[in-house]
Amino acid sequence: MTPIIEVNQLCKSFDRFNAVNNLSFTVNKGDIFGFLGENGAGKSTTIRMLLTLIQPTSGNIQLFGEPLQQNRKSILQRVGAVIEKPDLYKYLSAYENLNLFAKMSGLKLSKNTLMQQLDVVGLADRSHSKVKTFSQGMKQRLGIAVALVHDPQLIMLDEPTNGLDPQGIVDIRNLIMRLSQERGKTILVSSHLLSEIELIANRLLIIHKGEKVVEGSVKSLLDPAETIIKIETSDNQHAFELLKKWEHLENAILNENEIHIKMHKNETPFLVRFLTENKMDIFSVKHVNSLEDYFLNLTKSDTHVQPFTN
């Protein structure tokens, strides 16, 4: 697999607030990569650093195998992005908007090419309608057409379904899948809606308060044989330290009241035995049935979270 995005120990602080903290992840060629976290988790800040709109406090970013800061201009020519709501001219038509943005990018595209771009996003039949008459979903699709005007290899979409009705969400979902399957685009899409990302992404990353919680393939993370175990002991901090040394464990998260562990459900008895053999009193063991439940339990918590992975 060819890495398209490589982020290593990325940090961004605003005064004393750490918006992104020691974040590392990789997006491979052809991925639809889901970037998940609640609102305020650091997703938009990370994407802005990937687009050089803000500078990292520390860490490094490589796109297409090249350091971003040293090769900014050539790299960004291969990237398209929609950050939050697209910035469009509402008194111009869809076609006029696309033509204007193409010219601003230094491109001279034929009418046929521009119409093909509008057709890709399902707006060919509204090409001469003014943007002020568009629904929010149509504006989002036109924004994606603008991001595609220079035929980028990598597309970054920041919360593309925010504020959309159910049909608008479906339209954006189908568009993302077509861009991946028919156009071979690598796509990073941020969202706080796991249910949507499950339907389109092949790999995903969850962050919480600027820190990575879990990264992996959707198939492995949503394996029905896997489960999330929430366990409460007499001393959660000590139990967490013990579990770091347990060879069967892939990852765990400690918050104030519980330890959350992702593992195969058949290993639950071994987990309980390991802790009891180490003189830990276990008050409760509960199973969580899906990654969505795990995500919601984690991101809705106000407690301090300590993740680890082997």
> What's the CATH class of domain 223-309?
alpha beta
For 280, the enclosing helix (H) or strand (E) is: none
pLDDT of residue 105: 85
Helices (H), 162-281: 166-181, 194-200, 218-221, 236-243, 268-277
Model pTM above 0.85: no
Q: Where in the chain is the domain with CATH 3.30.70?
A: 223-309
pLDDT of residue 225: 63
pLDDT of residue 224: 61
Q: Where in the chain is the domain with CATH 3.40.50.300?
A: 3-217
From the list 202, 94, 292, the residue with the least C-alpha distance to 189 is 202
What does the alpha-carbon distance between residue 145 and residue 148 come to, in Å, rounded to a whole number?
Answer: 5
Please list the pLDDT of the chain residue by residue as tens digits (310 residues).
899 999 999 999 998 899 999 999 999 999 999 999 888 889 999 999 999 999 999 999 999 999 999 999 999 999 999 987 788 999 999 999 999 999 988 888 999 999 999 999 999 999 999 999 999 999 999 999 999 999 999 999 999 988 888 888 899 999 999 999 999 999 999 988 877 888 899 999 999 889 998 888 887 776 666 677 889 998 988 888 888 788 656 577 787 788 888 777 788 888 888 889 888 899 998 877 555 665 666 555 544 444 544 4
CA torsion through residues 6, 12, 17, 18, sign: positive
Q: Which residues contact 266 (CB under 8 A, 6 or more apart)?
A: 225
What does the alpha-carbon distance between residue 155 and residue 179 come to, in Å, rounded to a whole number?
Answer: 9
pLDDT of residue 270: 87
Q: Beta-carbon neighbour count of residue 156 at 10 Å?
A: 26
How is residue 271 written in tokens? 């987990």
What does the alpha-carbon distance between residue 226 and residue 222 come to, in Å, rounded to a whole number?
Answer: 7
Q: Say which CATH architecture domain 3-217 belongs to.
A: 3-Layer(aba) Sandwich (3.40)
